[in-house]
Structure 1
Amino acid sequence: MSINELTSRVENDQVLVLEHIFGAPRDLVFKMFKEPEHLKHWWGPIGWDLPVCHIDFRPGGTWHFCMKCIDRNQGEFYGMESWGKVVYKDIIEPEMISYTDYFSDADGNIDESLPSSEITLEFIDLGDKTRLVNRAEYVSAEALKTVMDMGMLEGITETWNRLEEHLKEVK
């Protein structure tokens, strides 16, 4: 796998595994996931901004955020907001972050009509590079299909490409 190449596979019909090698040391890549001032630069697909990013980075803490489409060329998506809420379960700095990822509203109320996922991010030290392994487990194959149909794979690909660009700027 080369830098900028995202690989994905589905395990047991309900676990999506994404892997990517970033051209930056593990400590720096990990830092990008815990600090709002960094997340605001790269979280979300191309043409989306992160105007709200409240993070309490600790086990039991939450991250409440809003992605907003700021690209007029995205037509009906322009101006759209997508709210999310993360509840952190376990953090081993700089090796691993696990959390439950929910869709939410602006007040942080969880949207039960959309599937949540159990996420584990593993940061593997490759010297001056980092392999990031993202395991997202859904309650069912149908729940995974729902988020895939929403364009989640394209969105995470664009998001991680934005992260790669931000890492180049801060290195």
Structure 2
Amino acid sequence: MNVKTEGTKLIIERTFSVSQERLFKAFTTSSELEAWWGPKGWKTTNKRFEFETGGYWHYCMKCEDKSQGDFYGMESWGLAKFKEIQAPERFLYEDMFSDEEGNVNTDLPGMDIEVLFVPTEGGTKLITTTFFDSAESLERLSEMGMVEGTASQMDRLEEYLK
């Protein structure tokens, strides 16, 4: 996994040995997303999933791994709004922290995330670009473990696709 920052953008790249269509489907089908989304030891449940422009994805990640100490039993709710979809090449969504009811947590920064699926020799390169409103927001979420969580999540996706 390659990670870099450019100003207020966090760019993560990883190549998977599956077709563009297969990788796109893993991100855009509710049951598939639930099977791998989130860091290792966490289970994701989609409360709402409408993969269409203007549609919402409301989900909960819950830590089910007792070895993760204080994180065990913790729930993390998210709300996303799909802004643009060009299947199977890319989609763009706004990602926000929320509560169980879907109310946005304004104490934590929201972000726009573009997900690109680029065909390569023998697979597909996934490129996610997260756009933050400020360098401080990027730094705050980085300190909360966003990159490490994404790395763990990409490992889970790799295992799921096998």
Percentage of identical aligned residues:
41
- Partner in structure 2 of residue 157 of structure 1: 151
Q: Distance in 2 between matches of 1:132 and 1:52?
A: 22
Q: In the alignment, does 2:6 pair up with 1:15?
A: no
Instruction: Write the letter of the residue equivalent to 2:78.
Output: G
Mapped to 1, the partners of 2:82 and 2:45 lie a distance apart of 21
Per the normalisation by structure 1, the TM-score is 0.92
- Give the structure 2 partner of residue 116 of structure 1: 110
Aligned-pair CA distance for 1:53: 4.2
| 3-state SS of paired residue (2:97) | strand
Structure 1 residue 37: deviation in Å? 1.0
Distance 1:101 1:159, change over 3 A: same
Q: Structure 1: where are the runs of 5+ without partners?
A: 1-5
Q: How many residues of Structure 1 are paired with residues of Structure 2 in the alignment? A: 162
Deviates more, 1:123-132 or 1:30-39: 123-132
Match in the other structure for 2:88: 94
**Please, which runs of 5 or more residues in structure 2 have no aligned partner?**
none
Instruction: Give the residue type in structure 2 aligned to 1:107.
Output: E
CA deviations on 1:70-93 (whole Å, 9 max, x unpaired) are 000011100000000110000000
**1:76 alignment partner in structure 2:** 70
Off by >4 Å, runs of 4+ in structure 1: none
Separation in 1, partners of 2:153, 2:49: 18
Return the offset for 1:23: 1.1
Matching residue's letter, 1:17? I
Q: 121-130 vs 145-154, which deviates more?
A: 121-130
SS in 1 for 2:28: coil
